[in-house]
Chain A
Amino acid sequence: MQGIRKHFRHWGTFDYVNTLLMLIIMLVMLYPFWYVIMASFSSMAHVQTHGVLLYPDGLRLAAYRQIFTHNLIPGAYKNTIFITVAGTAISMALTIVGAYCLSVKTLPGRTALTLYVVFTMWFGGGLVPTFLVVNSLGLVDSLWALILPGAISAYNMILMRNFFQNVPNDLYEAAEIDGITRMGYLVRVLLPLSTASIATISLFYAVGYWNSYFNSVIYIRSMDKWTMQMLLHQMLKGSTELTNALYDNQAEINELADETMKCAMIVITITPILIVYPFIQKYFVKGVMVGSLKG
């Protein structure tokens, strides 16, 4: 009690106003999340009469039951987990290997290879030519189209390379005398030294895959290959394909009830992110600082 009183003794008007402002910012940041969670468990009548919703009327699962009537959602969840796990693994393998090669200072042609990677950050073929390439590879309507075209982020690779470059070269020279191969050095010496950077960049990729939807819009044709984000996107765009799948009986379609269903969809899409958020956010912050201050 003494401590608290002491803490506030130096507070002026500005401190109270500022604290209030920060509280408001916090509420504004959180309220949309709170609203969709509350609405997803409420009855439509409750949502409608309360407007600025603060609590649900009980724990109603009607919205969840409705979206789970068809096996679209378990399938979409499986697809999302697949592209997140397989995608992150592939992205990390390519990024680490590429970053390591570019960090070998004695490599003839290193500058040219670095430019080969970096140039793609400045200039690209764009949407249509990339679509034509993916199409000609026969990847359209395959889950691989959601992984391969975006598998490497040149930015992440350069970030990783900068980190590897800071590891003293003596380490490799010492290991080389023991007859270690390049791959052996990368796996057994370099990687154990870089767990924090690897965690950070893996998280960048993983959240990117989990949240990606636009590749699905362009490349995916059949519903059984939809991801959660794509399902949500279709729901928001009012796709008839999805409505037909969710309602057996066209008469059931009720625009208002759709609102609680949308909220339920949003909630199950973001739940994994919300669960891991407290644990991973500090890695992201670290990543931003490394990327922007060292660039």
Chain B
Amino acid sequence: MSIGAGNRKERLLRQIWLHKEVYLLFLPVFLWFAIFKYAPMYGLTIAFKDYKILLGVFDSEWVGFDNFSRMFLNPAFPAALVNTLIISALKLLFCFPIPIIFAVLLDEMRTRLFKKVVQTTSYLPHFISWAVAAGMVGTLLNRTVGPVAAIVRAFGGTPQNYMNDPEYFRLILVVSDIWKGMGWSAIIYIAAIAGVDGQLHEAATIDGANRFQRVIHVTLPGIRSIIAIQLILAVGNILNSNFDQVYMMVSATTQKVGETLDYFVYRVGINTANNFPIGTAAGLFKNIIGFVLIILTNQISHKLTDGEGIW
């Protein structure tokens, strides 16, 4: 037995030696992940410490869950949690189905060239940053000179300062997210629809199905597994309510309806308070829940894709 074990060990060592060049090549990548991904994970310990800059992460004193209890006592934290859930729910409700509807309607277009042009135009907004997109939204909604104000005035209304109005803030988040993301999110559905067997459509037509019936009975069932997977992934991301967008659009007046968990982490941890431990604690709270959700949803989506029987 010892001889066998020795042989195996020897063989493994030889394999490792044979691949020494590969390990050497991987070294910079390994170090990058160690420094920029795993070192910050170690830094998460300051969520449980009384962090002193002069002492550093390692030497600061342990304080257990003090930072967490202080975080929950800060009324802004539960508010941020609620805001995150509300904004994510609104986005699930509107930003999720609209790309599917768009993909179906686009597929029903009869002119191929026009179809291509519409699709290419639809994902143009995906390629600009949220800094630019927020700039455009702010300009369009400008209360004095913007086109939206002009339209409101034309209908006899009084334009408001929409960007800074808590009443409109979430609406603006949802609508601008649809504008920026609809075409991009639709790509995957358009591809899936193109993959639906054309004979099924023909058979349905022969059976006397009209277009609406064909969409309901052929197209949508053909793409339901991809819809299910996308939906599960979206649910898994429920605590990530697009920091880039919120960061660029939120202001002091809209903070109470627009501050999400990510924004809380930024504001408390980096921007105003520079309270590293509380910022870290809030980030950790979010990441742990996010991690559990991602593992769960990944597992569900694997089941859906492998086990055809579920459907």
Contact = CB atoms under 8 A, between A and B. Distances in A.
Interface in B16-70: 16, 18-19, 21-23, 25-26, 28-30, 32-33, 35-44, 46, 57
Interface stretch (A57-65, A121-129, A191-199, A241-249): A121-129
Contacts of A218: 270
Interface of B: 12, 15-16, 18-19, 21-23, 25-26, 28-30, 32-33, 35-44, 46, 57, 102, 105-106, 108-111, 114, 117-118, 120-125, 127-129, 131-132, 134-140, 142, 144-147, 149-151, 153-154, 179, 183-184, 187-188, 191, 211, 243-244, 247-248, 262, 265-266, 269-270, 276, 279-280, 283-284, 286-287, 290-291, 294-295
A292 interface: yes
A39 B106 CA distance: 31
Contacts of B262: 127
Contacts of A106: 15, 18-19
B218 to A, nearest CB: 16
Contacts of A167: none
Nearest to A48: B145
A1 interface: no
Nearest to A125: B40
B200 to A, nearest CB: 20
A35 interface: yes
A36 B139 contact: yes
Interface of A: 7, 10-11, 14-15, 18-19, 21-22, 25-26, 28-30, 32-33, 35-36, 39, 44, 47-48, 50-53, 94, 97-98, 100-101, 104, 106-108, 113, 116-117, 120, 122-133, 137, 148-149, 151-152, 157, 181-183, 186, 207, 210-214, 217-218, 229, 232-233, 235-236, 256, 259, 262-263, 265-266, 269-270, 273, 277-278, 281, 284-285, 288-289, 292-293
Contacts of B279: 127-128
B295 A125 contact: no
Binding site secondary structure of chain B: helix
B33 A152 contact: yes
A47 B140 CA distance: 11
Contacts of B135: 36, 232, 235-236, 262, 265-266
A52 B23 CA distance: 60
A127 B270 contact: yes
Contact of B266 (A113, A127, A262): A127
A50 B111 CA distance: 35
B114 A22 contact: yes
B265 A18 contact: no
A277 B124 contact: yes
Give the 5 A-B residue pairs with the shortest CB-CB distance, closest first.
A51-B150, A125-B40, A129-B43, A126-B283, A211-B129
A129 B46 contact: yes
A270 B132 contact: yes
Contacts of B131: 211, 213, 229, 232-233, 236, 269
A15 B105 CA distance: 10
B32 A289 contact: no
A42 B286 CA distance: 46
A108 B114 contact: no
A126 B25 contact: no
A26 B118 contact: yes
Contact of A128 (B29, B150, B270, B294): B270
Contacts of A21: 105
A72 to B, nearest CB: 16
Contacts of A262: 135, 138-139
B92 to A, nearest CB: 18
Given A152-B29, A233-B131, A214 B295 contact: no
B40 A130 contact: yes
A131 B46 CA distance: 13
Nearest to B274: A128
Nearest to B110: A15
A22 B30 CA distance: 48
Contacts of A128: 43, 46, 265, 269-270, 276, 279-280, 283
A18 B108 contact: yes
B22 A289 contact: no
Given A51-B147, A132-B57, A151-B32, 9 more contacts: A25-B102, A98-B29, A116-B30, A126-B44, A127-B266, A127-B269, A131-B270, A270-B128, A285-B187
